[in-house]
A and B are shown apart, each in its own frame.
Chain A
Amino acid sequence: MGANTASRWGLRALGLGYLTMLLLIPLVMIFYKTFEDGIGPPLDAITSPDGLHALKLTLLMVVIAVPLNTIFGVGCALLLVRRKSKANPVIDAIINLPFAVSPVVIGLSLFLLYGTGGWFAFIGENGIEILFSVPGMVLASIFVSLPFVVRETVPVLQEIGTDQEMAASTLGANGWQTFWKITLPSIRWGVAYGVVLTTARVLGEFGAVTIVSGSISGQTQTLPLFVEKQYANFNSTGAYGASLVLALLALVTLFAMNLLKRKEDA
């Protein structure tokens, strides 16, 4: 009993210590460094025209990429789980590509495809700028955050099985009604978790977006790119402040999800 308790506490201390060293201390340091000289300098950096533009652009990425990946993700998960096909393992593997390939490589591949001489270069030549502008950044964001909703939804779909859906159909519901009234409510927390992860990924994406955007201040700079630029220009307070905003955005997403869930359970 005594040894048992001791080892349990030992394990807890180890786990907590590990998390503290790797996650907590670095984040606390950012927080501390940001406000080292008061609230003024970081606030100035964030509210500068370039900073505000970066914030808006980041939110724009989220607003476009997250809904698209959610709709695609749920549809794709339904296809993988509910429609047995020989192509499924192939689709499954392709969906995992963004996990396996480095974001920088993803950025480069988009560059090759849409840049001069690329297969899709004609789109840029016909007036719709892809590279060094918002459409390319959106493409990169969608690419890197594509698997999350699928990955979170597939196991939940498998777990709920098809009995409830079949029961709904014998009660007169068509496919669409069954999806909205039975399937979606049953998988909603899996989807929600996928949405949170997708949002966090889009908020923080750096590598792929850097390459396709060119990181032009006030034009094609998202918050992570803004942070990097500030840091490179020796404006570390600005960099820390922007980092903090990024972290807060992610936290807000998480809290919003928790709040919804708690309301539901009550």
Chain B
Amino acid sequence: MGISVEGANKRFGDFQALDDVSIDVPDGSLTALLGPSGSGKSTLLRAIAGLEDLDSGQVTINGEDATGKPAQKRGVGFVFQHYAAFKHMTVYDNVAFGLKIRKWDKAKISTRVHELLQLVQLDGLAGRFPSQLSGGQRQRMALARALAVEPQVLLLDEPFGALDAKVRKDLRTWLRNLHEEMHVTTIFVTHDQEEAMDVAGQLVVMNEGRVEQSGSADDLYDHPANEFVMSFVGEVNRLGDGFVRPHDMDVVLDPDENTEEAMVQRIVALGFEIRVEFVLADGTDVWAQLTRAELQKLELRQGQIVYLRPGTTKSFSGDSPPSGDGASTPRHPQGGDDAEVTAAA
């Protein structure tokens, strides 16, 4: 059950949007498709919805082969980044659209629409037109519209991408709660790793039309399959052949055999978190994430020479991200497990 895509390929001219992609989304889960722009995540979502035809591959929704079925028969709810509000209809008529198409009777439609407007906290605004709503309200209306027809799966294409930071955060929490109540299988596309980790239980990281890795947020953060996943999911410094998270960088004032000399370039206070930027002797830029207390203890200032002791350093054998073999399962570097090297070892 749930959604599965098998060996999906899609090409736009010279551009390979999807390169033999396979994913499995468990029934009732909330999954994020995460990747930079052009990674194929939106194309994959649209292919699941039937808004894009695949060159090859199979889409299965709740055990039923949906490949080649038109969008209108797939039973999906789709939410667009720019809302796709029906501008000439009121909020009420927008939400009622799918029900009118299904020829529900008027009284039933009215009950259902008001129920949904209550759910998305728009019950006072049924008579408004989309142009009279804020971005956040429009997107909630679009969600109500998608949910009205009781879709088997809910697909959201960068649903919060066009909203400002505060509204985005509120809607994230709201979507997570909504999913906990409704338990409809949901996939949402985002390029924001924080958003993906905040909302979704399962993440699928995509790059250049391929799936790089899928798993829980902890999995991806602690055991990234390759350089791409490591640098896309969370922040990263590159030290020689290895990678280290900024919060794994110890700043000390006295050197030992595991430290490297560095000069403080810039200290940026971001509330509780302090970002300290360094330049190493070989010219590499790195940064460390410190707490306010740590900074005060060290009394760092610009231009000061200090010593960095990197904690857990990861290295990935070969050039990554790997490419060209067309495999779509989560990749692990040669030798099975990721190589973990601690600086002290």
Contact = CB atoms under 8 A, between A and B. Distances in A.
Interface of A: 163-164, 166-174, 177, 181-182, 185-186
Closest 7 CB pairs of A and B: A171-B98, A163-B84, A167-B84, A170-B78, A169-B71, A185-B88, A172-B101
Given A170-B49, A170-B51, A164 B84 contact: yes
B72 A172 contact: yes
22 contacts: A164-B85, A164-B87, A166-B51, A166-B84, A167-B78, A167-B80, A167-B86, A169-B51, A169-B70, A169-B71, A170-B71, A170-B74, A170-B78, A170-B146, A171-B101, A171-B145, A171-B146, A172-B149, A173-B101, A185-B88, A186-B87, A186-B88
Contacts of A164: 84-87
B82 interface: yes
B64 to A, nearest CB: 16
A174 B98 CA distance: 11
B297 interface: no
Interface in B131-173: 142, 145-146, 148-149
A166 B83 CA distance: 11
A168 B88 contact: no
A170 B77 contact: yes
DSSP majority for the A interface?
Answer: helix
Interface residues of B, number: 28
A172 B103 CA distance: 11
Given A164-B87, A181-B97, 17 more contacts: A163-B84, A164-B86, A166-B71, A166-B78, A166-B80, A167-B86, A168-B97, A170-B72, A171-B72, A171-B97, A171-B101, A171-B146, A171-B148, A171-B149, A172-B101, A173-B72, A173-B101
B76 interface: yes
A163 B88 contact: no
Output the residue of A172, A174, A186 with the most chain B CB within 10 A: A172
B140 to A, nearest CB: 15
Nearest to A264: B88
A142 B74 CA distance: 43
Contacts of B97: 168, 171, 173, 181
Contacts, number: 60
B102 interface: yes
A178 to B, nearest CB: 9
Contacts of B101: 171-173, 177
Contacts of A172: 72-73, 98, 101-102, 149
B98 A182 contact: no
Contacts of A166: 51, 71, 78, 80, 84
B76 A170 contact: yes
Interface in B104-149: 142, 145-146, 148-149
Contact of B86 (A170, A174, A177, A182): A182
A230 B187 CA distance: 74
A170 B73 CA distance: 8
B248 to A, nearest CB: 43
Contacts of B149: 171-172
A171 B88 CA distance: 17
A262 to B, nearest CB: 16
Nearest to B49: A170
B89 to A, nearest CB: 8
A171 B98 CA distance: 5
Output the residue of B50, B73, B98, B145 with the most chain A CB within 10 A: B98
Nearest to B46: A166
Nearest to B52: A166
Output the residue of A168, A171, A174, A177 with the most chain B CB within 10 A: A171
Nearest to B89: A185
Contacts of A169: 50-51, 70-72
B42 to A, nearest CB: 12
Nearest to A178: B72
A173 to B, nearest CB: 5
A168 B51 CA distance: 11
B86 to A, nearest CB: 6
B82 A174 contact: no
A167 B82 CA distance: 11
B78 A174 contact: no
Interface in B24-45: none
A164 B82 CA distance: 10
A170 B72 CA distance: 5
Nearest to B142: A167
Contacts of B85: 164
A164 B76 CA distance: 15
A186 to B, nearest CB: 6
Contacts of B146: 170-171
Output the residue of B72, B98, B102 with the most chain A CB within 10 A: B72
A129 to B, nearest CB: 46
Nearest to B76: A170
Interface in B237-287: none
Contacts of A177: 101
Contacts of A170: 49-51, 71-72, 74, 76-78, 146
Contact of A174 (B72, B74, B83, B145): B72
A174 to B, nearest CB: 6
Contacts of A168: 86, 97
Nearest to B87: A186
Contacts of B142: 167
Nearest to A185: B88
B23 to A, nearest CB: 20
